[in-house]
């Protein structure tokens, strides 16, 4: 039975979902890093919020771990590269707290516009400084969105309801999507020049780190007000402090900081500055939503193979998973076959699908081919880390889809580029059972399972008998024998399933048979 650890405080409905789905679950919030490291080896899944740090050291101590689920959007506390290298799927929950975070950004915009925290403090101090707090309206102002994804689009909708104009900078925002949202797509410099308010809704990456740095802040419209409920590090806090002090920036509200918990900051105490302690997702509704979502995603993955909201691999819905499972098994076997035969000579990979296979999501099929292929070079390869390993080896990977139906109702073909030219294998499904139908230009039908031998020889009378005798002399029993050839008296290829593994001495003895050109032991 798969086992899941919940290592941060989470709504109890998360644990209930795991149990309802037949998974064992432990709730151990507040563990020190060393304590977590001593127990993590027992778990297949890990559900976290922001407190648990999933480091390379922790992952190295977790040989069973298959999935990490973050109840929330940001995954700054997870070493994505190390998780990917370890073959661990990393998921987040981008929708569970989107409304809550968007509403917090809107709330901070209002607080800045009307100086609410300062007015509150002044009034409760017994002052009545009605003329001191002269605010501005949101109506008619221009809001600049840096990031127009899930949360940004919700903020845009709310801002439009407040009769604001909205411009957005987002390299992934298409003109069609901008029209659908009712907003204007703009380059960053134009946004900085025009916006009365700026809100940030982008992940922290190498490309977005410091996106509002000193130079960018200098290019903003005088009197701009800035809100960040996304990630710390998007804004240069020291530069923002200077811009507030100079009056160029009229106000700023940060819910996130470069270092959290933010016990100190150059911004603290600055007039016009508002801060909250990372409350963007802190509503009772959001906490329930993300807990339920992360539990359902982890449970789906561990029980059916469905992948949702993964950071480091293609998504695979619960509906797609059962249909794709036999195709992925076929693809993995084809990749493993070509990897074992061709080995280090592979320079590129093309994955072709036709017939029924062409109607499916191609990414999991490609991932399975690469997992089989890259398994030749490493013992810890799966669909998560195989594409990374392929890129590290400089392999060119291509996907080709044919709508036509050929000799088979469905076909998956893998062609690898080698110094000696292309080499291709192909397979189909008989029922839901993978079956090889083409082997390096030779038509051959075979089931790829267990220990096998790939043998290439000159097609001459009596060879099969000699091969059987040689195997028998070495104590090797033949389970099945599959033979194909291009034409009479040319090359023939055999796939021989045997009982037991084939050692190097057996391979040497077979290579001494007359007409034998190649012998490769295989394992599926």
Residues 6+ apart with CB under 8 A from 463: 457, 492, 513, 515
The answer for residues whose C-beta is within 8 angstroms of residue 279's C-beta and 6 or more apart is 104, 255
Q: Closest by alpha carbon to 45, among 19, 25, 75?
A: 25
Length reported for the chain: 524
pLDDT in tens, 424-440: 999 999 988 999 999 99
Q: Is 290 left (phi over 0), alpha (psi -120 to 50) or beta?
A: alpha
What is the rounded distance in angstroms from the CA atom of residue 216 to the CA atom of residue 249? 12
Q: How many helices and strands, by DSSP H and E, does the chain display? A: 17, 22
Percentages of the chain per state (helix, strand, coil), in multiples of 5: 35, 25, 40
Nearest residue to 415 via CA among 452, 441, 390, 433: 441
The C-alpha atoms of residue 491 and residue 86 are separated, in whole angstroms, by: 42
Tokens of 239: 């530069």
Per annotation, catalytic residue among 260, 285, 319, 359? 260
Question: Measured between alpha carbons, how far is 346 from 370 in angstroms, rounded to an integer?
Answer: 12
Identify the active-site residue in 70, 104, 201, 231.
231
Q: Which two tokens stand for residue 55?
A: 């480091």
Quick one: pLDDT at residue 435? 94
How far apart, in whole angstroms, are the C-alpha atoms of residue 449 and residue 336? 11
Strand order in the sheet with 451-458: 477-485, 491-499, 451-458, 516-523
**Dihedral Cα 376, 382, 387, 389, nearest 10 deg:** -50
Report pLDDT digits (tens) over 168-214: 999 888 889 999 999 999 999 999 999 999 999 998 888 899 999 99
pLDDT of residue 172: 85
6's enclosing H/E stretch is: strand 3-6
| 231 noted as active-site residue | yes
- Let me know: does 142 contact 194? Beta carbons within 8 Å: yes
Chain segment 314-368, per-residue pLDDT in tens:
878 777 888 888 999 999 999 999 999 987 778 899 999 999 898 888 888 998 9
Query: Which position has the token pair 């055999």?
Result: 494
Stretch (H or E) spanning 89? strand 89-91
- The tens digit of pLDDT for each residue in 387-403 reads 888 887 888 899 999 87
Q: Output the pLDDT for position 207.
A: 87
pLDDT of the residue at 404: 72
Structure confidence at residue 456 (pLDDT): 92
Distance separating alpha carbons of residues 81 and 54, to the nearest angstrom? 11
Q: 422 by DSSP, 3-state: which?
A: strand
pLDDT at 67: 96
- What pLDDT is recorded for position 387? 85
Cis omega (within 30 of 0) for bond into 144: no
The pLDDT confidence band at residue 5, using thresholds 50, 70 and 90, is very high
pTM assigned to the model: 0.68
The terminus-to-terminus CA distance of the chain in angstroms comes to 25
Asked if 203 and 230 touch (Cβ cutoff 8 Å), the reply is yes
DSSP 123-154: HHTT---TTT-----STTPEEEEE--SHHHHH
**Which residue among 49, 104, 278, 423 is the active-site one?**
278
Token pair of 214, please?
């000193």
The strands making up 197-200's β-sheet, listed across from edge to edge, are 184-185, 165-169, 142-146, 197-200, 224-228, 249-254, 273-275
Coil, helix or strand at residue 401: strand
The whole-angstrom separation of Cα 202 and Cα 262 is 20
Higher pLDDT, 420 or 215: 215
Q: Which of 429, 397, 389, 395 is nearest to 412 (CA)?
A: 429
Is residue 489 among the annotated active site residues?
Answer: no
Cβ count near 130 (within 10 Å): 10
Contact predicate 226/241, CB 8 Å: no
Identify the weakest region by mean pLDDT among 65-69, 329-333, 405-409: 405-409
Mean pLDDT of 64-91: 91
Known active-site residue 248: no
pLDDT digits (tens, 9 = 90+) for 83-111: 998 999 999 998 888 899 999 999 999 99
* Cα 39 from Cα 55, distance rounded (Å): 15
Closest CA to 289 of 107, 102, 152, 98: 98
What mean pLDDT comes out for the span 505-517?
91
> For position 76, what pLDDT does the model report?
84
Structural domains in the chain? 3-94+285-304 (3.40.50.720), 98-275 (3.40.50.720), 319-438 (3.30.1330.90), 449-524 (3.30.70.260)
| Residue 489: predicted pLDDT | 66
| Mean pLDDT for the chain overall | 92
Tokens encoding 415: 């062609």
Which of 31-40, 57-66, 233-242, 356-365 shows the lowest mean pLDDT across its residues? 356-365
Q: pLDDT by residue (tens digit) across 454-494?
A: 999 988 888 899 999 999 988 899 999 999 887 766 788 99
Q: Are strands 24-27 and 3-6 parallel, antiparallel or unpaired?
A: parallel
């Amino acid at each position: 039975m798969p086992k899941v650890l919940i290592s941060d405080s989470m709504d109890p409905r998360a644990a209930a979902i795991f149990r309802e789905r037949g998974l064992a679950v432990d709730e151990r919030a507040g563990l020190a890093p060393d304590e977590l490291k001593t127990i993590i080896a027992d778990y297949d899944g890990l559900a976290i919020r922001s407190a648990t740090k999933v480091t390379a050291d922790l992952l190295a101590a977790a040989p069973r771990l298959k999935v990490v689920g973050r109840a929330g959007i940001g995954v700054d506390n997870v070493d994505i590269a190390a998780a990917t290298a370890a073959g661990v799927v990393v998921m987040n929950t981008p929708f569970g707290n989107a409304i809550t975070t968007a509403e917090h950004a809107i709330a901070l915009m209002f607080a800045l516009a009307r100086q609410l925290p300062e007015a509150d403090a002044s009034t409760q101090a017994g002052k009545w400084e009605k003329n001191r707090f002269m605010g501005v309206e949101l109506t008619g102002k221009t809001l600049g969105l840096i990031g127009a994804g899930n949360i940004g689009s919700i903020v845009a909708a709310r801002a439009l309801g407040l009769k604001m104009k909205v411009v957005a900078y987002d390299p992934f925002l298409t003109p069609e999507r901008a029209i659908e949202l009712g907003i204007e797509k703009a380059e960053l410099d134009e946004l900085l020049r025009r916006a009365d308010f700026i809100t940030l809704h982008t992940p922290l990456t190498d490309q977005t780190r410091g996106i509002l740095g000193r130079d960018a802040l200098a290019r903003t419209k005088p009197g701009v007000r800035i809100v960040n409920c996304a990630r710390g590090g998007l804004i240069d806090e020291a530069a923002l402090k200077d811009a507030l002090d100079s009056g160029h920036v009229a106000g700023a509200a940060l819910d996130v900081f470069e270092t959290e918990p933010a016990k100190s900051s150059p911004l603290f105490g600055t007039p016009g500055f508002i801060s909250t302690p990372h409350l963007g997702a802190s509503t009772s509704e959001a906490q329930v939503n993300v807990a339920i979502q992360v539990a359902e995603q982890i449970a789906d993955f561990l029980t059916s193979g469905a992948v949702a909201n993964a950071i480091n691999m293609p998504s695979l819905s619960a509906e797609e998973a059962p249909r794709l499972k036999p195709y992925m098994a076929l693809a993995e076997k084809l990749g493993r076959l070509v990897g074992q035969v061709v080995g280090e000579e592979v320079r590129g990979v093309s994955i072709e699908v036709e017939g029924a296979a062409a109607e499916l999501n191609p990414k999991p099929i490609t991932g399975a081919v690469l997992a089989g292929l890259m398994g030749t070079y490493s013992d810890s390869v799966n669909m998560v880390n195989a594409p990374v390993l392929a890129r590290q080896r400089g392999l060119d990977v291509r996907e080709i889809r044919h709508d036509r139906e050929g000799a088979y109702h469905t076909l998956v073909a893998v062609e690898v580029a080698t110094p000696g030219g292309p080499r291709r294998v192909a397979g189909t499904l008989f029922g839901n059972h993978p079956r090889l139908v083409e082997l390096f230009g030779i038509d051959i039908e075979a089931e790829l399972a267990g220990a096998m031998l790939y043998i290439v020889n000159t097609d001459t009378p009596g060879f099969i008998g000699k091969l059987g005798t040689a195997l028998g002399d070495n104590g090797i029993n033949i389970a099945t024998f599959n033979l194909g050839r291009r034409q009479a008296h040319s090359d023939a290829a055999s796939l021989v399933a045997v009982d037991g593994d084939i050692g190097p001495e057996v391979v040497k003895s077979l290579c001494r048979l007359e007409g034998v050109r190649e012998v490769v032991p295989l394992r599926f």
